[in-house]
Amino acid sequence: EDVKKWFFNLFKVPESDGARVERYKSSDWFRNIKSLLVSRILKRISGHLLFNVAIAIVASLWYQLHPNAFLNLGTAAHSLSGAALSLLLVFRTNSAYDRFWEARKKLGSVVDCCRGLARAAPAGLPPLLAIEFGRMTVAFPYMLRIHLTGRGAQKVQDTSDAPDVLPFFNDKQLRVVDGYFSKPMAVLSIMNQILDRPEVTAGEDLQQTLKKTPARNILQDNVNQLVAQTGACERIQGCPVPLSYSRHLSRYLTIWSATLPYVLAPMLGWYSVPTIALICWSLFSIEEIGHMIEEPFIGLPNDQVQTKRVADVIKRDTVNMYDQQLGVNLAHPPSHSQLQNAPVYPAVSF
């Protein structure tokens, strides 16, 4: 029975799960080979690949029928130009990966800032304002995700993130956010309005104000940081690798690979066709991977930059911090009278 399960899993093509962080293992090599024909990369480059395979068939047929009249290009030109092509592919892929990695670092900074807000808000704000601020802290990463994945024009309730985030908005806040194209900036604007309310310092004496000032400074600093991180993510989304660079690489690669059959046909005969197919598949795949990771928020399948996971982590940690410090559920906040009768730190005991 164990052998049967092992054999079944061996020949089962793995499916991606966007909610799970997938990592490559060296033992996956056979599954990766087995899933080659259904890979997303192969589908995207299939037209270009078939074009070059057709040229290879024509070149091989020409050589077989009329070897004396065949256009033999020799190996010198492709040997010399192949080094330049390799460098172009490497630079293109590296520049695209830098954009992917920068996106991950910016999302990591968003997590740090939101955790700082969730930690400081209960200590620096009155309970009702702290709860309202915490709800906006939960909402922010989901609004950032919606904005960066090209859904900013949609209403929040029409997005796939609605079940996760709608419980943290009231009707007025939802109308404000839907009125913005940049929904994360709408949430940050609401946060600033909360920090500027007179109720923040109402009824406090000088000693209480001085005690809470450091926490309030942390709140304002982290809100400013979220503004900066939003702008950085928008820069990655809105400023791709220069089009002239991508076009030149595409033209160079197309001409180089289209003339390669006239080098290999005299050397390999009909075997040049599968050889050309393998060479073009490897080169075109590298180029296409660069195009995909160049747009980390919308170009990669299954949310590989993990915007959903980042939002869920912030939601989990913020809800847990508020439950510990104020004893409230941010999705169903208590009334003012209920807060007055609740202990300040119900979950903390030493």
- Report how far residue 148's alpha carbon sits from residue 305's, in angstroms, rounded to the nearest whole number: 11
The residue among 22, 44, 39 whose CA lies nearest residue 284 is: 44
**DSSP H/E element including 177:** helix 171-178
What pTM did the predictor assign? 0.80
Q: What is the DSSP string of 31-99?
A: HHHHTGGG-HHHHHHHHHHHHHHHHHHHHHHHHHH-GGG-----SHHHHHHHHHHHHHHHHHHHHHHHH
- Please write the tens of the pLDDT for every residue from 66-124: 888 888 888 888 888 888 898 889 888 888 889 999 999 999 999 999 999 999 999 88
User: Stretch 6-21: mean pLDDT, rounded?
Assistant: 46
Q: Is 236 helix (H, G, I), strand (E, B) or coil?
A: helix
- Please write the tens of the pLDDT for every residue from 298-335: 877 778 888 999 999 999 999 999 998 888 888 887 66
* Upper half-sphere CA count for residue 62 (Cβ side, 13 Å): 17
- Residue 68 has φ and ψ, to the nearest 5°, of -75, -25
pLDDT at 7 (0 to 100) = 42
* One-letter amino acid of 127: P
- Report how far residue 2's alpha carbon sits from residue 146's, in angstroms, rounded to the nearest whole number: 44
- Please write the tens of the pLDDT for every residue from 129-183: 999 999 999 999 999 999 998 888 889 999 999 999 999 998 899 999 998 888 9
Can you say how many angstroms the Cα of residue 340 is from the centroid of all Cα atoms in its chain?
42
Task: Say if residues 240 and 103 touch (Cβ distance below 8 Å).
Answer: no
Task: Say if residues 294 and 96 touch (Cβ distance below 8 Å).
Answer: yes
User: Stretch 338-345: mean pLDDT, rounded?
Assistant: 48
Tracing tokens 């795949």 back to the chain, one arrives at 285
Is 6's pLDDT higher than 50?
no
- Report how far residue 272's alpha carbon sits from residue 274's, in angstroms, rounded to the nearest whole number: 6
Burial class for 347, CB neighbours closer than 10 Å (0-12, 13-18, 19+): exposed
Task: Say if residues 333 and 323 touch (Cβ distance below 8 Å).
Answer: no
For CA atoms 277, 278, 280, 284, the dihedral sign is positive
Q: What is the DSSP string of 258-316?
A: HHTHHHHHHHHGGGHHHHHHHHHHHHHHHHHHHHHHHSTTTTSGGGTT-HHHHHHHHHH
pLDDT at 224 (0 to 100) = 94
Annotate 81-90 with b (16+ C-beta within 10 A) or e (fewer).
Answer: eeeebeebbe
